[in-house]
Structure 1
């Protein structure tokens, strides 16, 4: 189950050999140095830790910088562990887009775009009320509980609040094209996050 870290560059379209047009998201995937291997014996679980996003040494604190220098890895901004991903990888290896294949199905995880404080119609797809004849309930959420019994509002009521800005995983995305010389991966459809955000790409297995 290959995995890699990538930066979302944006969306575009590609014309395939059969004339079809694919709407794709362009990801700058890797290269990701392997900075640690977790094992059952030492850590209680199996995982591989990948680094991504080259930065200056000045941008890192000393514990993180020491961890990277210990395994001869370059200064990187992001470290992420992928469970059960170790396989034949060892510390010092580098994961690139060549780990994946065109036509492979992947899932992409990242932090979705924040949309601020929203009402129930936008946040939970509530229906709006009548808009004419003096209605005072155009976009109000409606009743949220009785008065005497139970004299409170139950937990979990869907109401207004902050929308977005949470971790999202988009599954079932197909790899349309790989450009190993430029570390680019193009997947069909949209992925979570804004342009420039770091996302996790894993095979959808």
Structure 2
């Protein structure tokens, strides 16, 4: 795994390439993220780098959290994220990680919480078909049979039914970085990413199958 960056989804727009084709992109405010902890095999049993994102007040954090951030001389941050690495020698406490670590054309994996849709029926939630709409039909949007009677006398876990829709962690893989604005720490990523504007995103270089 490579070190990624945390950011905020600002919204969507479109840009045009050299051929004049419109490209839908998501605008992400990425970083800057200070390095808040460096874990080594001697102290923690594995090697990793922890970064922070999102300024906040000291009142919003607990005393253990403030003590943890004080070791890296970091200002109070709202979010922490850890990335496991094979070698952490090139990082140091307090180092700032910004959007310029990405390049145009690079593939990235973007993770975030999907938009919560509340309690949804099985048609909206699972894209099931509706029943006949004739006047004699007794089933327009009903789920129908959901399980056997005497045996097993219950519904098996995992049955696709109505329930909470959205508000789960989603990862969109191998999205292309269209532009990098290093001065404003802004990334333009092709396509859509999870969450609504203002949502927290975790952006890291795409995982290629077969890489060591």
Cα deviation, 1:62-82, whole Å, max 9, x if unaligned, reads: 211121122111111111112
The corresponding residue for 2:112 is: 110
* Comparing 30-39 and 78-87, the one that deviates more: 78-87
Cα deviation, 1:142-169, whole Å, max 9, x if unaligned, reads: 1111212222222221111001111111
Alpha-carbon distance change, 129 to 86 in structure 1, aligned in 2, over 3 angstroms? farther
Name the CA distance, whole Å, in 1 between partners of 2:83 and 2:107: 17
Name the CA distance, whole Å, in 1 between partners of 2:134 and 2:47: 61
The corresponding residue for 2:210 is: none
The corresponding residue for 2:142 is: 140
Any gaps of 5 or more consecutive residues in structure 1? none
Cα deviation, 1:157-203, whole Å, max 9, x if unaligned, reads: 11110011111111121000010111100100111111111110011
Alpha-carbon distance change, 14 to 190 in structure 1, aligned in 2, over 3 angstroms? same
Post-superposition shift, 1:2? 3.6
Name the CA distance, whole Å, in 1 between partners of 2:186 and 2:175: 15
Question: Contact 1:2–1:99 at 8 Å: present in 2 too?
Answer: no
The TM-score with structure 1 as length reference comes to 0.95
The TM-score with structure 2 as length reference comes to 0.92
The corresponding residue for 1:81 is: 82
Query: Secondary structure of the equivalent of 1:182?
Result: coil
Alpha-carbon distance change, 48 to 85 in structure 1, aligned in 2, over 3 angstroms? farther
* Comparing 35-44 and 170-179, the one that deviates more: 35-44
The corresponding residue for 1:53 is: 54
Cα deviation, 1:67-98, whole Å, max 9, x if unaligned, reads: 11221111111111122276422222111111
Name the CA distance, whole Å, in 2 between partners of 1:102 and 1:85: 25
Aligned residue-pair number: 205
Q: Give RMSD over aligned pairs.
A: 1.4
